[in-house]
Amino acid sequence: PTIKGVLLMPRPPSTCFTLFSDDSRVSEYNDNCKELKDVATILKDEDVHVKVNWCATGRFGPFMARDFTTVVRNERLRGEG
């Protein structure tokens, strides 16, 4: 099974970039993430951050707790605030 969540944030793109680039703030937008750790940084500069992270969730409804790794890319687009 796959679950997809969608969130509309009435904030400037630069605010979203800062939020999603900071692992310590994950609880502000993802209640299911119980633990989050960066495993590797692939690229990090002023406008692009590419990394691999590990996340553990708690039990969610009928779904058991699980853990997984994800390749994450956050990119600030020029002219996007």
For 3-47, how does the pLDDT look when each residue is reduced to its tens digit (9 = 90+)? 677 778 898 888 888 888 888 898 888 888 899 999 999 999 888
Q: What is the pLDDT of residue 2?
A: 64
Question: Are residues 48 and 74 in contact, defined by beta-carbon separation less than 8 angstroms?
Answer: yes
Ramachandran angles phi, psi of 55, nearest 5°: -135, 140
Question: Are residues 51 and 44 in contact, defined by beta-carbon separation less than 8 angstroms?
Answer: yes
Question: Are residues 32 and 60 in contact, defined by beta-carbon separation less than 8 angstroms?
Answer: yes
The torsion of the CA quartet 70, 51, 9, 59, rounded to 10 degrees, works out to 30
Question: Are residues 31 and 59 in contact, defined by beta-carbon separation less than 8 angstroms?
Answer: no
Stated pTM of the model: 0.68
For all residues of the chain together, what is the average pLDDT?
85
pLDDT in tens, 33-43: 899 999 999 99
